[in-house]
A and B are shown apart, each in its own frame.
Chain A
């Protein structure tokens, strides 16, 4: 009963901290991490009309964390006049990715078929990633709305990773690892990632070895990217709540240890 009550107090406390934080509107100033800066600088220095593949490899559940990252990167990519091939290796990411792509392309007046395309979802992600290295048209003979890939202006002269400058995997799991292990290792394709905070540390070994070019991680990564891009959005708005939650967990750990030491001393004295 005691355990259950403690659990409820912890949960209610966290809920209160997050809800109160979201009612306040305090802009957060934060410096960009080296990984986010590297991602931003690379896209910033790409020549116009370079082709990037953006893969929406995430589920709807991580949308609150992933969407700010995806929107910030998409806006940057379209602002730089890069050409975007969108696709999804997760069924749920398909509709979400298509909507985000259209939304950000519309903001920058980009044309579907000429400046960007969304190829849709392909199951069996490993075979899809490997197949793109042989022929994008073979893996995706039609795009998501149903047009023949051959007929799209953007796909002229583009059929393999050779024509693609970067793959950006927006993921909440290990799909990015498959991009690194198959597209990166086999076809030397540069891979960048937008990840949830929980997954960042999984990719640290790949980041430090250079197999993963750069990563924009979590809500903080989104806030950093928005700062570099110059437009505050959902990432920045969520930083107060995230900081509050972190501070709450730190306080819980300290309180837990105080209680632990006091009960240990009482046992020794008793």
Chain B
């Protein structure tokens, strides 16, 4: 029973959502709008699960003296931000927005900027002419790298065009093929979920 009901719900609503896509009838549209609203409500409750889990884990780690300072700061962030939002609102000039713009945004940008450094080290390590395919990859990468900066136009007016050609034709062909494969994989996985063949999301069966 514990698995049969969710499977039945999944089958019924899966078929309904699939069917409504092909229908222009007002009842089909209304069903669809209804389910979208329920989806929003369910999502809001899942956020509560996350908050509770984070708070519980942090408190447990603090009580066990595992990185207590870091955990306390993280927990304080979780508690302080909603309090600031409730007291001062979230509009321009509020303490919440100040914290967001001056603490959260710079921290996130900093971590994002690590990507530039890691791209440099990955490029240094990864683009070696070990084999013929690797050499082709290396030459292509150099063409695209140079073509994306204004320096390319100083070398030749045609350089950016070569770069766009590489991006628009060979690279695009490979990406489209992978995308078709991924699309088909997604479709069959979704079909297996709807038909109840795939039950991992239930309880690992």
Contacts and interface: CB of A to CB of B under 8 A. Distances in A.
Direct interface between A and B, CB < 8 A: yes
Contact of A208 (B90, B125, B168): B168
Interface in A35-83: 59-64
Given A60-B105, A138-B33, A127 B124 contact: no
A201 to B, nearest CB: 7
B150 A134 contact: no
Contact of A246 (B29, B148, B179): B148
Contacts, number: 144
A59 B91 CA distance: 17
A64 B115 CA distance: 14
Nearest to A120: B90
Contacts of A138: 33
Nearest to A240: B150
Contacts of B132: none
B23 interface: no
Interface in A115-134: 122-124, 127-128, 130-131, 134
Interface residues of A, number: 61
B153 interface: yes
State the main secondary structure of chain B at its contact with A: helix
A11 B92 contact: no
30 contacts: A10-B124, A11-B117, A11-B121, A14-B117, A15-B117, A29-B150, A33-B164, A64-B109, A92-B104, A98-B92, A102-B92, A124-B36, A124-B40, A127-B39, A130-B32, A145-B91, A201-B171, A204-B167, A204-B168, A205-B172, A205-B175, A205-B179, A220-B149, A250-B145, A253-B123, A253-B127, A253-B145, A256-B127, A257-B129, A260-B128
A130 B36 contact: yes
